Chains A and B, each alone.
Chain A
Amino acid sequence: MATKPELPVNDPQLDPKTGEFRVIAPGYTFKSVTNVISRIVLTPHTPLFWFFGFTLAGSICVMLFTAVTWLFLKGVGIWGLDIPVGWGFAIINFVWWIGIGHAGTLISAILLLFKQQWRNSISRFAEAMTIFAVICAGMFPLIHVGRPWLGYWLFPYPNTMNVWPQFRSPLLWDVFAVSTYATISVVFWYIGLVPDLGTMRDNAKSKLAQYFYGIISLGWRGSVKHWMRYETASLLLAGLATPLVLSVHTVISFDFAVAVLPGWHTTIFPPYFVAGAIYSGFAMVLTLAIPIRTLYHLEGLITIRHIDNMCKVMLATGLIVAYGYGSDLFFAWYSASHWEYFMMWNRMFGPMGWAYWVLITCNIALPQLLWLRTFRLSPGKVFIMSLIINAGMWFERFVIIVTSLYRDFLPSSWGTYKATRWDYAVFIGTMGLFTALFFLFIRVLPMMPMSEIRMLLPQAKVRPEPEPLEAGD
């Protein structure tokens, strides 16, 4: 994009060659990149806001533990679940959290394959976000099964009952999709961390930190042979994570689309779920990145360029999601099935119609502001927009799940759904867990990949024509 005339021509944030915002502010060296990032972790002075944030998130997390303990004692009856709405907050939250996780994989894997180097500074904490979101998501099916201590029955294993799982069910596909996703995300993240942990080990001053980073860095010493294998493995993992992330939300959408319920039984579900997942995930990355860059003064590494690019990705995926809603409407009309037709009417104008309009406002109407360049370049406004989109995506799952279930074929079996305080306690509690884990992450591990940021610096290139030197012999 060309520079707009209202921007100063000699703005140091702009690259003079292309007129675009720089990915990294000028003036960084290998040493200063290392110091800026590792200092956040290695400093003995934890900032005050960290304690404040961690305490707040931790106390919300305690609420989660209380709610889950009570759930285990009393059973799922303490939730608002009933017939006909047998899938409530637990599944809504599961889909919402796992969708958030998908942006981390997108940034770390798909953008790596497309050689989008701007991703380098945000990839690490986006991957961490993925892992913590998957932890929150994975909790819901486990606590939802009613007898969580028998959760291992989901897996095929030889048992004295001689019973095996039913491999034609999307719910079992989900077990493999989500467990694979969690494992590969953790491995990808950890492999990416290893060289940086070597840097942490070498920069740590305290004995404890040296031992800690020394052990978890696995003895990384930066041999170019190791680097080449490491690069191959990263590319392979990225290449594998890309179809994986697409398949995970596709399989989750099969949980719905394979059922014959009006509002669920459509072929648009897989692409529309995947786009929605990336949409909400980028919103969550922005929700995390904007406060972090301000609080830790990382504006030189997470630049306006990153925020601008992420807004563009949100705009594009948001439009795919809008297409999905449009196609829902179209199929309700084109199917000529009055069950489908009624479902859509009920979704929009029934007793829970307000949720549909909240979703349209948050996911389609307001995000159109992202077309404005001035809006995208303002971190404060983008932060508020990211919260709105997160809320909108939660409502999307609410609308899909609850409004399809509570009034299906037979009016005699209609009902309603009302979440109880325990539903809310678990939902808000997972946000506390997510935030607390994230605070721990930014305090203990380098939140940006130092080695990848070094590659972005101009001095990292081997000069095309190195001056000839006399060999020693």
Chain B
Amino acid sequence: MPMREGIYGLLAEFDTPGELVVAAKAAYDSGWRRLDCYTPYPLEEAAEAIGFHRNYVPLICLIGGLMGLAAMFLMETWVAVFAYPLNIAGRPLFSWPAFAIPAYEWTILWSGLSAAFGMLAMCGLPALYHPLFNAPNFRTGATTDKFFLCLEANDPKFSVVESRSFLEGFRPVSIVEVEY
């Protein structure tokens, strides 16, 4: 894989969630679109601040669940009515109330698997390498107790000097240039 060269973005570090949200909101309001926040626990306000309001995990989950339901119910019907009809105490071959139970379990199984793996896929995980891990303060803080705002270099508004002075206005603990 060819290595990319250059700057991934500018990473500002904050001590409290409140400061991060203020900075993220100001950046979004002044037109930044390629930016992200990194927090040690889910911080809904930060996601709202950068304009991330909804995701498609529920839709994936719904589709997965319906497919699981249909697959199991149709298989049961096919097995019990066509492939291997058995007379069990004179019950009808198409005993749908009995078939509902495994179909219910498979609805849950496939919607659960779709939600979990769909979430990972939409996040682009697993991704064992990411440029942010090159930042010296990211690995010691982002998953423990620090709050980060990253302005990414592929945003048209990005400029090393101006973006840095923009971030400095929010008095972060540090600003780091992240290389690929």
A: which residues have CB within 8 A of B?
A: 29-31, 34, 156, 162-168, 172-173, 176-177, 180, 183-184, 187-188, 190-191, 194-195, 198-199, 201-203, 214-215, 218-233, 236-237, 240-241, 243-244, 247, 251, 451-452, 454-455, 459-463, 466, 469-473
Contacts and interface: CB of A to CB of B under 8 A. Distances in A.
Contact of A30 (B40, B42, B170): B40
B40 A219 contact: no
Nearest to A196: B143
Contact of B143 (A198, A452, A470): A198
B125 A220 contact: yes
Q: Which of A30, A173, A233, A244 has the most CB of B within 10 A?
A: A233
A202 B137 CA distance: 11
B145 A224 contact: no
Nearest to A31: B145
Q: Which of A214, A218, A221, A469 has the most CB of B within 10 A?
A: A221
Contact of B108 (A163, A168, A180, A472): A180
Pairs of residues from A and B, 4 with the lowest C-beta to C-beta distance, nearest first: A472-B169, A30-B145, A218-B126, A233-B119
21 contacts: A30-B144, A31-B144, A167-B98, A168-B91, A176-B105, A184-B112, A187-B112, A191-B119, A225-B50, A227-B41, A229-B55, A232-B119, A236-B61, A240-B111, A247-B108, A462-B45, A466-B19, A469-B26, A469-B169, A471-B169, A472-B169
B50 to A, nearest CB: 7
A219 B108 contact: no
B157 to A, nearest CB: 10
Contacts of B57: 229, 232-233, 236
A142 to B, nearest CB: 18
Contacts of A188: 112, 116
Nearest to A187: B116
Interface string B54-82: 01011001000000000010011001100
Q: Which of B120, B122, B166 has the most CB of A within 10 A?
A: B120
A225 B54 CA distance: 9
A165 B101 CA distance: 14
B43 interface: yes
A469 B171 CA distance: 9
Contacts of B143: 195, 198-199, 201-202, 220-222
A38 B116 CA distance: 25
B115 A233 contact: yes
Given A167-B79, A247-B104, A471 B45 contact: no
B41 A202 contact: no
B179 interface: no
Contacts of B113: 183-184, 187
A202 B18 contact: no
A180 B110 CA distance: 9
Contacts of A243: 108
B167 A472 contact: yes
A194 B84 CA distance: 44
Interface of B: 16-19, 21-23, 26, 30, 36-47, 50, 52, 55, 57-58, 61, 72, 75-76, 79-80, 83-84, 86, 88, 91, 95, 98-99, 101-102, 104-106, 108-109, 111-113, 115-116, 118-120, 122-123, 125-130, 132-133, 138-140, 142-145, 162, 165-171
Contacts of B22: 466, 469
A45 to B, nearest CB: 22
Contacts of B84: 162-164
Nearest to A228: B47
Contacts of B123: 223, 225-226, 229-230
B152 to A, nearest CB: 11
A32 B144 CA distance: 9
